[in-house]
């Protein structure tokens, strides 16, 4: 499998910020409308990072008009222009699927100061 990783996948890997579960992020997605291209922003909490080289993805959850919305982004997709980390929260597990059952005040999380490297 090394030939695949070295020669095919490596060139496609993009650099994305070191985000992790619990971070509130703004994902800048390139949207094509006809022949025009614009940036659409999806802001929410990262509730899971999924590894797997070029297949890696991350799930962002937000509550829009009282309705929970989750979007799974391929981490290395060329349609993702950039990802801004708005704030980070103190979380004790990698997958925050429990947030789906919580809303309002219960879904708040304690903020942490990130040491930017």
Partner 1 sequence: MVNGIIGKKVGMTQVFGADGVVAPVTVLKAGPCVIAQVKTAGTDGYESVQLGLVEAKPKKENKPSQGHFKKAGVPATRVRREVTLKAGGDAVKAGDQVNASIFAEGERVDVIGTSRGKGFQGVVKRHHFAGGRMSHGSMFHRAPGSIGASSYPSRVVKGMRMGGHMGNKQITVRNLKIVRIDLENNLVLIEGSVPGGPNAVVVIRKAIAAKPIRIAQVEPVKKKGKK
Give the residue ranges of DSSP H helices in the chain: 2-3
| Long-range contacts of 99-105, Cβ-Cβ distance < 8 Å, separation of 24 or more | 99/45, 99/47, 99/61, 100/61, 100/68, 103/63, 103/68
Q: Does 57 bind partner 1 (CB under 8 A)?
A: no
Q: Rounded to whole angstroms, how far apart are CA atoms 15 and 21?
A: 18
Letters for 83-102 (x = contact with partner 1 by CB under 8 A, - = none) are --------------------
Among 17, 18, 30, 102, binds partner 1 (CB under 8 A): 30
Complex with partner 1: residue 53 or 68, whichever CB lies closer: 53
Question: Which of 4-12, 62-70, 89-97, 100-108 is the region at the interface with partner 1 (rule: CB under 8 A)?
Answer: 4-12
Q: Does 35 bind partner 1 (CB under 8 A)?
A: yes
């Amino acid at each position: 499998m090394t030939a695949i990783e070295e020669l095919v996948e490596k060139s496609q890997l993009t650099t994305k910020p070191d985000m992790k579960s619990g971070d509130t992020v703004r994902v800048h997605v390139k949207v094509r409308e006809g022949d025009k291209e614009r940036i659409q922003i999806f802001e929410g909490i990262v509730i899971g990072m999924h590894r797997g080289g070029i297949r890696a993805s991350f799930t962002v959850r937000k509550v829009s008009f009282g309705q929970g919305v989750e979007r799974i982004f391929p981490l290395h997709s060329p349609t993702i222009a950039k990802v801004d980390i708005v704030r980070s929260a103190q979380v004790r597990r990698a997958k925050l699927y429990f947030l789906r059952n919580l809303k309002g005040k219960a879904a708040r999380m304690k903020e942490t100061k990130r040491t930017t490297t």
